[in-house]
Structure 1
């Protein structure tokens, strides 16, 4: 079809106006055939946020500020007879009587439930004005002292005011952590409050009224005044200070109110404790608060309020006067409360005029059960943070392993922001100077650094390495200091990337590769530095690793970044099945370089014994000379070897499926295999080591070289069996490292996933091998056991 609307036959070409028309049906059909449901075309210049934000201002269909929204549903819990439109301001809601004060206890419980759903929805990536601040009570004085409303204040309901004040303090905890951790991209988290009152309620002062009222309500529940402070006893004596009738309430309703008060305080305590933690020594106290919050959540779930609406019931319930007349189910929406009633004061359109250009629709809040599941997962992820390895100084390898395990749990932005705040607060790594962490990773004494870059505390430790410090001169300051300084920034950038979500993590790791490549040039000067050579000669065994301590360290970390970058393509579903073969082959090649460096480092760390032989040993005849036995592999080396065996198994497996016709190769109409290979792995050409691998090397390596399909099946089967055979040894190494029980070690969960993958793939290979070449079997790959290593599923075509 031409631009002017005139139809032209497909295939016709006309160059008179410098326009050539060609049929694109075949290319579009081929592109559609390669894409599965839910897949997107990925490009370097494509931005999902910019594409989704391409909205037209002043258009009522696209700009929320222009949409009236008066023809929609009514305000939740509205008792206004003629109010079938949505209230668009606090003043309108007050004039129509939609914000009753004081609020009855059952309606207060419903409002707490609905606010928890709104808070969980905000954690999921929606904005504060469209989630939490759709509660019009948050826009009343004294929470919003400058609100232009008719005279109405929350001071008449102190319990509601205390709950909302504690909620705002919790929001500020989450918001400050997310801002510091830079979790502010639209797909992650929205920290903007849109000018709504959020800043004033922070810290312990904001939750102190709720703590006082908690003791008072507990006293009422016990039938007495309780044993609180004098202020608390005064509150109990004057029941009007609660703002709602508590005496004479059903015990179930009073227990539900107490459960929500306990959980509100427990959630604030957890988030504020993690925000205040500055080193691993503070984590045990945080773990206690997480367990208390989990118990409070269980109590909240186990004590629903009375008059809960049965599933499928359609009758109208009894409500207090002025509190509303219909349940949420009767309004056609999902339940956002445990009772099934709609919460009073939730006005979806009240802040719509404050929003930037967005579609004029209300955000769908998570349901009550979805909110409970979200909070349960959040607390589980925060509990996982409290089990971070506590070594002094921190071990980068252990940190990387922990962060990989933490990311496999798919934490949300709140948990990831809390982790990053603890990990990299104030430019330090778990409370330690990054220079100290890098020198510890290099296995070099801190005294090699000059006094200027070190703190006074580190300067006091200089005497521990007097000999090394005496050897350090001007040459060390000229070569070692710039390298360690830049390496510390690179290490922090990697840790920050490991705290991001999968897509951002992969993109950030790819951008960090040039920094590590520049470190490789500086590392050569460090290895030639006389003080470093002196310390390495006196500390490590003879070998090539001793001559290149800094270079090997940079190469090792670069290999780990490249491997993580490649494997994240599987968890983000970036690779097509036809790209699995080059991806696993590339990972296998980089693993070979990494294993070579790790083996050399561990061998150099094994110092030969210099103790004189015992008298009894001198009497024995000298044994014939023989080569020294290699040291036993470490846990890290055993894991890397297992991963390499699995990658080799996938290479043989995919090659066999391709030759057997079970994984047909569909040539792309847009670019050839070589071009797709170069585009996929172009980022890895930014580093010198590990050496970038060309398409020609890949093609030579994966060629069958005369091997038959059954032989490839058998080779893949043997490799997966060998990988599974490594797991008991790794388990023993993990138990030894943990002092006998490694059940809480992240390695154990990794071993269980690898075991399932190997067992399933061995079964699939056995079936394919027995079926023979040319059999009619449909191959698919499922990532239900491990995020990086797929399970082969075979079905009859």
Structure 2
């Protein structure tokens, strides 16, 4: 409803001006003129003065990045400083002659080409919403969508564009096509929005689920809309008033919308067979949609930013999000492909393959959309049932068996049936249940964390490693309690320690996962470009330190496994027991090889960057507000509170990284040997099959990741050789004629391995 009184009043207010001549300036004319003079205030208590010059001079003395904040300037003052009647801030502001609402005729007949244009623009807005823009800047800017949603319809009879009722009898076919598509679109958004809201995500940062007090057809069943789409497709196929290619384009869009609606309705099911094929069928519509998009004719008047004035929103008006058709189709294609891949997680193989799948799937470039990531969360944790079929205990017990406790009586399900308190099996079951209760949330938090965006993954891992550190301490106590019931015999080896050595299986398991997370934190720092070029030697040295610590820990676990194999040959003759030991030893071998490749490559890069820093070939940005101690605290902050491995003091770390007693040629020779060893390790990894690499269900993605690391390793060898030749040419004297380029993330063979490009200068 138009408010003539408000319009007239707004025009009168807009017409008020000082020294307005016959040629009225534009609404933004004030920004193109000289600022007005200081107001002439007449008050005994107020003395007004122009401080523009003093303010400008003071501002010019500030350094870049320096911030001055008045502690008394509160949020109330900030809101009060917002300028009323500024179109950028005031959604109720009207230009001279402008009305509150758009004067759009919904009963007008549209050409079939115009319907294609509107539908394609709606698809662009839908994908923009998936990209993170709010509904107020995307789908809700459509006047046709707004017409359908206000007032909230409770039946299909209330969804006609012409609210007068005449259109319900003689609705043009073109408008019925548009209405059916719009209803399918809104209901699709309803399913997507509910799925995202039911999982863990970050509002505004990942996705905007706010519907601005609008109902996304909550009261309409999706089957009714699907039926309307099917009826409209039949009517369209029998029409002879359109060109064949136009009719085919409209039919394709209706069938696509119906398929999309069915797909998002079925997607959360973890038991429906053929979900991968459903997403692939939706993907098959894209070639025809792209090819027929050229037939569309835009109708820009059917979209308006004025709709935001009627939405329940507290933010200033925002422009309509503009996403090109090419970008929208690309995003839709990635969404369908990622969704078809994420369904494969439901086929469970083993706990380590599950971790590999989630970690590498989330590392895809570009990262899967929020909707796909929430689907992954639902498949993993929905109703606290892992993948819809497994309990948390099953996952943890299998992980323990394949890492530290193969064919062990601590994991025997028969212990749960013992009710005699004096029986050792009863006490083992109670202690193990206590450990599982403490470990379950911490264990699942890793998977839940990896399902977030890349920045949040690293940030959250910095907090979860503290939980794993506490879990390790708790596990040590439980391990000590369990010894009296398992009758574990210690290893006595004077060459290693004068004290008896116990296995500590539960704390060893916790320590292993804590080290893996610490490595991920450092590696993701390279991916997210957190470190400056001159910090790369230190961070790669610390990465190799963590990887070597993990390799030594795996050697200890392997020694305990081999001891148990020798001591229990008669007990593990059964097929199940033998298979569990084989799996545990295979995983230990694989993890050791992976750790060797990591610390070899990291050691090589640390030495290479240390030489480049010594030769003043690494750029050093000015840091007027920090020093070495502050940077150490910032980079090592996630690890300073960890008990093991112990933090390295700053002075010791600096010396270990710089290695001042070694010559540049010696460091480069060591780097060449390390990168060669890492290359051999990656080559062995690249030949492993899905079962050997514990990546069943995602072997192709894992193999691609290893190949990219191998390429980065080969490139590092080339860079090391180039620097070595340049140093040898100068004989250790004179200026090194090299230029070093540090590639950005996305320009590297692998985002975790920053290999410098060394270019000789003429």
TM range (shorter): 0.7 to 0.9
**What secondary structure sits across from 2:137 in the alignment?**
coil
**What secondary structure sits across from 2:741 in the alignment?**
strand
Native 8 Å contact 1:65 1:357 kept in 2: no
Structure 1 residue 348 corresponds to structure 2 residue 305: yes
Structure 1 residue 61 corresponds to structure 2 residue 61: no
Query: C-alpha separation between the residues in 2 aligned to 1:654 and 1:577?
Result: 9
Query: C-alpha separation between the residues in 1 aligned to 2:248 and 2:661?
Result: 75
The structure-2 alpha-carbon separation of the partners of 1:737 and 1:211, relative to structure 1 and needing over 3 Å to count, comes to farther
Q: Give how far 1:447 is off.
A: 11
**What secondary structure sits across from 2:740 in the alignment?**
strand
The structure-2 alpha-carbon separation of the partners of 1:262 and 1:638, relative to structure 1 and needing over 3 Å to count, comes to farther
Question: Structure 2 residue aligned with 1:571, among 527, 537, 540?
Answer: 527
Structure 1 residue 793 corresponds to structure 2 residue 737: no
Question: Structure 1 residue aligned with 2:672, among 717, 723, 732?
Answer: 717
Structure 1 residue 695 corresponds to structure 2 residue 656: no
Native 8 Å contact 1:396 1:441 kept in 2: yes
**What secondary structure sits across from 1:356 in the alignment?**
coil
Structure 1 residue 778 corresponds to structure 2 residue 739: yes
Query: C-alpha separation between the residues in 2 aligned to 1:636 and 1:296?
Result: 43
Structure 1 residue 248 corresponds to structure 2 residue 212: no
Tell me which moved more, 757-766 or 547-556: 757-766
The structure-2 alpha-carbon separation of the partners of 1:558 and 1:762, relative to structure 1 and needing over 3 Å to count, comes to same
Query: C-alpha separation between the residues in 2 aligned to 1:165 and 1:446?
Result: 57
Query: C-alpha separation between the residues in 1 aligned to 2:318 and 2:705?
Result: 43
Give the equivalent residue in structure 2 for 1:286: 275
Question: Structure 2 residue aligned with 1:390, among 338, 342, 347?
Answer: 347
Q: Give how far 1:121 is off.
A: 1.0
Give the equivalent residue in structure 2 for 1:122: 129
Structure 1 residue 596 corresponds to structure 2 residue 548: no
Native 8 Å contact 2:419 2:426 kept in 1: no
**What secondary structure sits across from 1:669 in the alignment?**
coil
Query: C-alpha separation between the residues in 2 aligned to 1:688 and 1:137?
Result: 61
Q: Give how far 1:115 is off.
A: 0.7
Query: C-alpha separation between the residues in 1 aligned to 2:290 and 2:60?
Result: 61
Superposed counterparts of 1:749-764, under 5 Å: 749-764=704-719
Query: C-alpha separation between the residues in 2 aligned to 1:722 and 1:491?
Result: 33
Give the equivalent residue in structure 2 for 1:336: none
Q: Deviations over 1:89-110 (max 9, x none)?
A: 4xx43xx42x245544332222
Native 8 Å contact 1:61 1:359 kept in 2: no
Tell me which moved more, 351-360 or 564-573: 351-360
Query: C-alpha separation between the residues in 1 aligned to 2:702 and 2:79?
Result: 45
Q: Give how far 1:736 is off.
A: 5.7
**What secondary structure sits across from 2:285 in the alignment?**
helix
Native 8 Å contact 1:516 1:558 kept in 2: yes
Give the equivalent residue in structure 1 for 2:373: 416
Query: C-alpha separation between the residues in 1 aligned to 2:487 and 2:264?
Result: 45
Give the equivalent residue in structure 2 for 1:437: 395
Give the equivalent residue in structure 1 for 2:197: 179
Q: Give how far 1:175 is off.
A: 0.8
Q: Give how far 1:747 is off.
A: 1.8
Give the equivalent residue in structure 2 for 1:224: none
Give the equivalent residue in structure 1 for 2:325: 368
Q: Deviations over 1:68-105 (max 9, x none)?
A: 3547xxxxxxxxxxxx96x754xx43xx42x2455443
TM-score, L = length of structure 1: 0.73
The structure-2 alpha-carbon separation of the partners of 1:648 and 1:545, relative to structure 1 and needing over 3 Å to count, comes to farther
**What secondary structure sits across from 2:756 in the alignment?**
strand
User: Structure 2: 5+ residue runs without aligned partners?
Assistant: 1-49, 68-74, 491-495, 572-584
Give the equivalent residue in structure 1 for 2:486: 534
Give the equivalent residue in structure 2 for 1:520: 472
Give the equivalent residue in structure 2 for 1:746: 701
Give the equivalent residue in structure 2 for 1:276: 269
Q: Give how far 1:497 is off.
A: 1.1
Q: Deviations over 1:422-443 (max 9, x none)?
A: 2221223323222332222222
Query: C-alpha separation between the residues in 1 aligned to 2:266 and 2:198?
Result: 16
Q: Give how far 1:65 is off.
A: 4.7
Query: C-alpha separation between the residues in 2 aligned to 1:66 and 1:742?
Result: 51
Q: Give how far 1:357 is off.
A: 4.3
Question: Structure 2 residue aligned with 1:108, among 97, 100, 115?
Answer: 115
**What secondary structure sits across from 2:306 in the alignment?**
coil
The structure-2 alpha-carbon separation of the partners of 1:355 and 1:640, relative to structure 1 and needing over 3 Å to count, comes to farther
TM-score, L = length of structure 2: 0.76
Q: Give how far 1:150 is off.
A: 8.0
Q: Give how far 1:558 is off.
A: 1.0
Query: C-alpha separation between the residues in 2 aligned to 1:756 and 1:54?
Result: 54
Q: Give how far 1:515 is off.
A: 1.8
Question: Structure 2 residue aligned with 1:198, among 187, 207, 216?
Answer: 216
Native 8 Å contact 1:144 1:197 kept in 2: no
Query: C-alpha separation between the residues in 1 aligned to 2:503 and 2:408?
Result: 20
Native 8 Å contact 2:538 2:654 kept in 1: no
Superposed counterparts of 1:237-636, under 5 Å: 246-277=239-270, 282=272, 285-304=274-293, 306=295, 339-342=296-299, 345-354=302-311, 356-388=313-345, 390-391=347-348, 394-396=350-352, 398-409=354-365, 410-431=367-388, 432-443=390-401, 462-463=413-414, 475-476=427-428, 479-530=431-482, 534=486, 547-605=503-561, 607-608=565-566, 610=569, 634-636=589-591
Give the equivalent residue in structure 2 for 1:728: 683
Q: Deviations over 1:731-755 (max 9, x none)?
A: 2223563899998432211112112
Query: C-alpha separation between the residues in 1 aligned to 2:675 and 2:360?
Result: 23
Native 8 Å contact 2:418 2:425 kept in 1: no
Aligned residues: 653
The structure-2 alpha-carbon separation of the partners of 1:385 and 1:648, relative to structure 1 and needing over 3 Å to count, comes to same
Native 8 Å contact 2:740 2:758 kept in 1: yes
Give the equivalent residue in structure 1 for 2:493: none
Give the equivalent residue in structure 2 for 1:44: none
Give the equivalent residue in structure 2 for 1:707: 662
Tell me which moved more, 699-708 or 198-207: 198-207
Q: Deviations over 1:482-531 (max 9, x none)?
A: 33112111122221110111111112111223322221221012212338
Superposed counterparts of 1:25-36, under 5 Å: 28=63
Native 8 Å contact 2:475 2:507 kept in 1: yes
Native 8 Å contact 1:435 1:485 kept in 2: no
The structure-2 alpha-carbon separation of the partners of 1:765 and 1:424, relative to structure 1 and needing over 3 Å to count, comes to same
Query: C-alpha separation between the residues in 1 aligned to 2:232 and 2:59?
Result: 75
